[in-house]
Homo-oligomer: A and B are copies of this chain.
Amino acid sequence: MVGFWHRLGTKGKALYSATLSPPFSSPLTLPHIWVPTQTPNRPLSSGFHPVKTGATGQTRSAAEIMSGKPIAKDIKLRVAAEISRMKAAIGRLPGLAMVLVGYREDSHAYVHIKLKACNEVGIETSIVQLPQDCTQDRLIDVVSSFNSNPSVHGIIVQLPLPEHLDEETIINFVSPEKDVDGFHPLNMGNLALRGREPLFIPCAPKACIELLLRYRVEIIGKNAVVIGRSKIAGLSTSLLLQRHHATVSTLHSFTNNPEQIIRRADIVVSDVGIPNIVRCDWLMPGAVVVDMGTNSVKDPNSPRGFRTTGDVCYEEAIKVVSAITPVPGGVGPVVISMLLSNTLDSAKRAYGFT
């Protein structure tokens, strides 16, 4: 370790240290044949052409567009196949339960997408919708009933909740064994602590890493900047990137001169929620950008009157970065497929099915 750190200090080159745990890989990233996960002792096959990141790579004439659609499709197919195998073997299906409080346009849209995806792969779903003014006790009753229901393997409390309900208390009530969102502090703690394996990792960071790995972006030792620190995306992505041995800087609304820090990043993950806030002059040429923003902007030309855009000014960014996720069609579809994957994993654990 001493020698290692001294080399690190003098030569300025990162080496793999046996004293560190290997990079974390989600169950779905390990078995890929066409996309082996990054393990320091298994260099990228020369048969592939990985996206080089940042200063250590070359700027491409055209940025690689990291579409999430084919990845989501692949994951869905594999989840569906596993569910069929489980059904054939033990006659059981995974079950996902969702709780909605009151009515929010966006929440209902998300729930609709989740229902559709579950239906595609064969996950049973149940939804309880409670009135806007429901009591905390009533919500806890519903969650508790799902906790004790053996045919429910995943529980989602759709956020945000109305002001009068304590989100923290509710999330604490979700059984960590059914916490497919990965927001329970026990799962978050096991995500933060290297060497530990959380039962569930939040879907957004899993999707981010999946995209990077599938598009063969080097993560180990790279300077990664995560803009935003929500538990849904930013915070958990920082923790997961660090498990993959990136050097992670987490930016937030107290950060001074964020653009200066972002400009030094090989990998930029944005979780801000403001359309086009990240401009091309914030990005290092050759950087890889994962845009987690899902922002609605008015668009009279759209039949719905609005369109979805990310945090990154896409038109500017593609001129300087080496790879970028589009919005829509980038992280979003993969996030949903990760929810299916988490629910399947939970059911397999519950039934001891391997």
The distance from the CB of A42 to the nearest CB of chain B, in whole angstroms, is 15
- Cβ of A260: which chain B residues have Cβ within 8 Å of it? 12
| Distance between A308 CB and nearest chain B CB, rounded to angstroms | 16
Which A208-243 residues sit within 8 Å CB-CB of chain B?
220-223, 229, 231, 235, 239, 242
User: In the bound complex, how far is the Cα of B247 from the Cα of A258, in angstroms?
Assistant: 9
Contact residue among B190, B250, B259 (Cβ-Cβ distance under 8 Å from A248): B250
Q: Interface residue count for A (Cβ, 8 Å)?
A: 62
Contacts of A235 in B (CB 8 A): 192-194
Q: Is the CB of A192 within 8 A of B192?
A: yes
Does any Cβ of B come within 8 Å of A261's Cβ?
A: yes
Determine if A41 is an interface residue (Cβ-Cβ < 8 Å).
no
Q: What does the 1/0 interface line of A244-258 toward B look like (CB < 8 Å)?
A: 011111111111111
* Pair B247/A1 contact, Cβ less than 8 Å: no
Residues from chain B with Cβ under 8 Å of A5 in the complex: 253, 272, 274, 277
Residues on the B chain within 8 Å of A254, using CB: 14, 16-17, 20, 220-221, 245-247
Cα of A316 to Cα of B74 in the assembled complex, Å? 56
Q: Is A343 an interface residue (CB 8 A)?
A: no
Given A192-B189, A193-B235, residue A8 in contact with residue B258 (CB < 8 A): yes
Do A189 and B194 touch (CB < 8 A)?
A: no
A196 at the interface (CB under 8 A from B): yes
Across the interface, which residues of B come within 8 angstroms of A4, CB to CB?
Answer: 253
Shortest CB distance A170–B (Å): 13
Say whether A229 contacts B194, CB under 8 Å.
Answer: yes
Name the segment of A104-112, A139-147, A180-188, A325-333 touching the other chain.
A180-188
If the complex has contacts A12-B257, A253-B4, are A185 and B196 also in contact, measured as CB distance less than 8 A? Answer: yes
Contacts from A to B (Cβ < 8 Å) = 1-2, 4-6, 8-9, 12-17, 19-20, 56, 168, 184-196, 220-223, 229, 231, 235, 239, 242, 245-261, 272-274, 277, 279, 282
